[in-house]
Amino acid sequence: MTAALVTDGLGKRYGSQWALRDCTLEIPRGSVTALVGPNGAGKTTLLRMAVGLTRPSAGSVRVLGLDPHVDAAEALPRVGFLAQEHPLYGGFTIAEMLRVGRELNPGWDEEAARARIAELDLPLKKKVRSLSGGQRAQVALTLALAKRPELLLLDEPVASLDPLARREFMQTVVEAVADRELTVVLSSHILADLERVCDRLVILAVGRTQLAGSIEEIVASHRLLTGPRDEAEDVARLHDVVRESHAERQTTLVVRANGHVYDARWTVHELDLEEIVLAYLGQDAARRREAVLS
Q: Which residues bind other proteins (CB under 8 A)?
A: 12, 14, 48, 51-55, 72-73, 76-77, 79-81, 83, 85, 87-90, 92, 96, 99-101, 103-107, 140, 143, 147
- Residue 258 C-beta: closest distance to other proteins, Å: 40
**Burial grade of 267 (CB within 10 A; 0-12, 13-18, 19 or more):** exposed
Rounded to a whole number of angstroms, the minimum distance from the CB of residue 175 to other proteins is: 22
State the Cα–Cα distance between residues 109 and 120, nearest whole angstrom. Answer: 17
The minimum distance between CB 67 and other proteins, in angstroms, equals 13
Q: Of the two residues 48 and 222, which places its CB atom closer to other proteins in the complex?
A: 48
**Closest CB to other proteins among residues 99, 167:** 99
Rounded Cα gap, residues 113 and 118, in angstroms: 9
Q: Starting from the edge strand earliest in sequence, which strands make up the sheet with 58-63, in order?
A: 17-27, 5-14, 58-63
For residue 276, the one-letter residue type is I
- Give SS3 for 185: strand
Q: Nearest approach, Cβ of 87 to other proteins (angstroms)?
A: 4
Of 50 and 203, CB closest to other proteins: 50
Give the three-state DSSP class for 153.
strand
Which residue lies nearer to other proteins by CB, 12 or 166?
A: 12
